[in-house]
Amino acid sequence: MSLLPLSGGVFMGWALGALDSANVFGTAVASRVISFRKATLLCSVMVILGAVLQGEAGMHTYRDLAEQNLRTVLVASVAAGLAVTFMILKALPISASQSMVGAIAGIGLASDTVNWSGLTTILICWVATPIGSLLIGMVVYKLLSLFFTRVPMGILTRDQLIWGGLVVVGCYGAYTLGANNVANVTGIYSGQFTALGLTDLHLALLGGLFISFGTLTYSKKMMIAVGTGIMRLDALMSLVAVTSMAITVHIFAIVGIPVSTSHALVGAICGIGFLTGGSGLKLERIRTISLAWLFTPLLSLILSSAGYAIFC
């Protein structure tokens, strides 16, 4: 048995790392709270830790979504990676989860093996992610605003707390990224390499390493796009946005449903925007991102279906 099909996971992991690491440290880098190099190193370590400690639950969700073999998992991974890479080139913070599910659904439709119940559950969670993060963001913003206005402290102390908090929640966000999204990288390989002794834990570790590879090599463009592209955020808003995103994604990691850090972050930023009057929200940019969210799973579905017809 060859490990060649796992090359699709390497590609998907690279694309996911390049895309989604921006959601956990993009606001901090854009705000110059932390350098890009330090952010990518911290992100890489925490992604691997999250993948190893809590990444296996989401893998089981993807494993049962459609019948797979070594050929189809390679096709699905490459199709999903291509869709994500296309959106990275457009600097659009889309969902790697949507891309992978679209690719798996394409394989499932072509082979008539789709688990419709599992797919419906994932679709519901996609809708719940930005809404939940929006609500959490509004609550967190209110609580932190109350804290910083009621507790006596100097401006320097306040800034130090917020800047330090951005680094801490960035690490937490990277952990939840690994825990929740490693399934997008190696989840469909679950059970495919048992003859070689590769367990889900091994696949989670490999997935975390693949994501880190993308973070370290090609994430700067998306970090700047996410940090400034939706709404101009001050340090407190950035802290709230990343905290809310991380909490939301962690909840779904525990449940075992891979969701989008991009959906969660955009939802949190919109919640902050609503509380602050909405004048800072770049509505045209949000509309473009929303259209990209709809287009991404369709693109990966088409690519994987075509790949199945040609190679499988």
- Provide the pLDDT for residue 235: 85
Average pLDDT over residues 281-298: 88
Q: Is residue 312 part of a domain?
A: no
| Contact yes or no for 177/211 (Cβ under 8 A) | yes
Average pLDDT over residues 38-57: 96
Whole-angstrom Cα distance, residue 231 to residue 266? 10
In-domain check, residue 88: yes
Task: Identify the domain containing residue 298 by its residue range.
Answer: 4-307
Residue range 191-214: mean pLDDT, rounded: 92
pLDDT tens-digit series, residues 77-109: 999 999 999 999 888 888 999 999 999 999 999
For the chain, the three-class secondary structure string (H helix, E strand, C coil) is CCCHHHHHHHHHHHHHHHHHHHHHHHHHHHCCCCCHHHHHHHHHHHHHHHHHHHCHHHHHHHHCCCCCCHHHHHHHHHHHHHHHHHHHHCCCCCCHHHHHHHHHHHHHHHHCCCCHHHHHHHHHHHHHHHHHHHHHHHHHHHHHHHHHHHCCCCHHHHHHHHHHHHHHHHHHHHHHHHHHHCHHHHHHHCCCCHHHCCCHHHHHHHHHHHHHHHHHHHCHHHHHHHHHHCECCCHHHHHHHHHHHHHHHHHHHHHCCCCCHHHHHHHHHHHHHHHCCCCCECHHHHHHHHHHHHHHHHHHHHHHHHHHHHHC
What are the pLDDT digits (tens) for 154-197?
999 999 999 999 999 999 999 999 999 999 999 999 988 887 88
Domain assignment present for residue 194? The answer is: yes
- Give a yes or no: residue 97 inside a domain: yes
Per the structure, the count of domains in the chain is 1
The band of 226, judged by pLDDT with boundaries at 50, 70 and 90, is low
Name the residue type at position 284: E
Percent above pLDDT 70 for the chain = 97
Query: Could you say which DSSP state residue 3 is in?
Result: S
**264, two tokens:** 């969660």
Residues 271-281: pLDDT tens digits? 998 898 877 77
Report the 10 Å Cβ neighbour count for 25: 31
Bridge partners, 281 (sequence order): 231
Query: Phi, psi (5° rounding) for residue 281?
Result: -70, 135
Residue 81 lies in a domain: yes
With b for 16 or more beta-carbon neighbours within 10 A and e for fewer, the 258-290 pattern comes to bbbbbbbbbbbbbbbbeeeeeeebbeebbeebe
What is the Cα–Cα distance from 227 to 29, expressed in whole angstroms?
7
User: What pTM does this model have?
Assistant: 0.93
Average pLDDT value over all residues in the chain: 91
pLDDT of residue 291: 92
Give residue 228's pLDDT band: very low, low, confident or very high (50, 70, 90): low
Measuring CA to CA, which residue among 283, 275, 277 is closest to residue 231? Answer: 283
